[in-house]
Structure 1
Amino acid sequence: MSRAQCSRCMRPQTHCLCALIPQLDSRTRVLLLQHPSEVSHALNTARLAALGLTHAQLRVGEVFDDLDQLINQPGYQARLLFPGEDTQVLTAYELADKSLPLLLVVPDGTWRKVRKLLHLNPMLAQLPRVTLPQGAVSRYRLRKAPGPGALSTLEAIVQALEILEAPTSFAPLLRPFEALIEGQIEAMGAETYERNHGDKH
């Protein structure tokens, strides 16, 4: 028999995260394009981001037929948050800046799946790209990062917004993420966690 699930955060009702999910406003809009393989992932951080930001939208799929409409939103300039050639490092909005705020398009999936999304949605691949400064450290202690600076989708969004909209803090978005990780560590047991994920000196 399957456990009852919260329809909002998609966690078992006994481990519902909704009380920890904030409602944060932002000048930046966030469009999350999630590969279907991520939907059932235990940490589905893109969903947490979409729930915690009032100006965020989450779409799931491989091909987005209405992409033109999604990325050409009046009053915003679309940028793809993904490494690539001619990528600009994000910087803060200037107070006197009269240019349009960003629509931050964030693909969610493994590197391979994201590249597939870009291939299947050429309009996405053609967007100007932005990236985070080097040196970011992930709080995700349960999975070996594919390389230095590799972050979960939620962490990347928090860092991007904190750069763009400094000095505003978006740290409350990380509360349900931390609770998820702590819950998984607790479930596997401290000894198993230390053996598999503890610091290797």
Structure 2
Amino acid sequence: MSRARCERCLRPEDHCLCALIPRLDSRTRVLILQHPSEVRHALNTARLAALGLNNAQLLVGEVFEDLGQWLDVPGYRPRLLFPGEGATALSASGVEQEPTLLVVPDGTWRKARKLLHLNPLLAALPRVSLQDAPSSRYRLRKAPGPDALSTLEAIVHALETLEPSGSFEALLRPFDALIEGQIAAMGPQTFKRNHS
């Protein structure tokens, strides 16, 4: 029999994170495009970001037929958060500039690239990348490189870059609790053997 789940955070009810999830305002609008394989992932950090930000939207799919309507938000300039050729370093947007609509693909690197391939509108967006990203707090996943962050961590770092006068650190509270809970469940020996 499966355990009862919280309808909001999708965690088992006895491990619900809702009390730790903030409701933060941001000038930046965040649009997360989540690959379907991530929805039931135990560490669904994109969902935590969408729940914690008032100005965020989470869409799930591979092909987004109506992507144009989500990108054409009056008063915002869309930017794709994705490193690589042609990406410019993300920097603070001045008050005189239109705020950013930050489009964030969520999935493994391979699946995120597939989202770009299947959605030409997405691939055509101006790309931005993170600079001076902190080390990941995601101690349970083997990262492809030292600058690899979870979707939630990337969003927090991007928002703190775009809006340096604000703090988005509170978004990481449920993430940290989630990581600690997973480590506790596997036991310190297993964690040390597999993740140290």
TM-score interval (norm. to shorter): over 0.9
| CA contact 1:136–1:150 (8 Å) conserved in 2 | no
Distance 1:92 1:71 in 2: 20
**Residue type at the aligned position of 2:114:** K
Q: CA deviation at 1:135?
A: 4.7
Equivalence map 1:74-93=2 (5 Å):
74-93=74-93
Distance 1:21 1:135 in 2: 23
Instruction: Note the alpha carbon deviations across 1:98-122, whole angstroms, 9 max, x for none.
Output: 2200000000001110111111100
Q: CA deviation at 1:93?
A: 2.2
Distance 1:135 1:151 in 2: 8
Match of 1:147 in 2: 145
Distance 1:186 1:10 in 2: 19
**Residue type at the aligned position of 1:64:** F
Equivalence map 1:1-201=2 (5 Å):
1-94=1-94, 97-198=95-196
| CA contact 2:92–2:162 (8 Å) conserved in 1 | yes
Distance 2:84 2:143 in 1: 19
**5+ long unaligned stretches in structure 2:** none
Provide the TM-score with structure 1 as the length reference. 0.95
| CA contact 2:133–2:157 (8 Å) conserved in 1 | no
Provide the TM-score with structure 2 as the length reference. 0.98
**5+ long unaligned stretches in structure 1:** none
| CA contact 1:154–1:174 (8 Å) conserved in 2 | yes
Distance 2:106 2:55 in 1: 17
What is the Cα-based RMSD across aligned positions, in Å? 0.9
Distance 2:180 2:171 in 1: 15
Distance 2:134 2:169 in 1: 15
2:96 aligns to what SS in structure 1? coil
Q: CA deviation at 1:178?
A: 0.4
Instruction: Note the alpha carbon deviations across 1:25-65, whole angstroms, 9 max, x for none.
Output: 00000000000000011100000000000000000000001
- The count of aligned residue pairs is 196
| CA contact 1:32–1:105 (8 Å) conserved in 2 | yes
1:68 aligns to what SS in structure 2? helix
After the TM superposition, which parts of structure 1 deviate over 2 Å for at least 4 consecutive aligned residues? none
Aligned residues: percent identity?
A: 72
| CA contact 1:135–1:148 (8 Å) conserved in 2 | no
Distance 1:62 1:80 in 2: 16
Q: CA deviation at 1:84?
A: 2.2
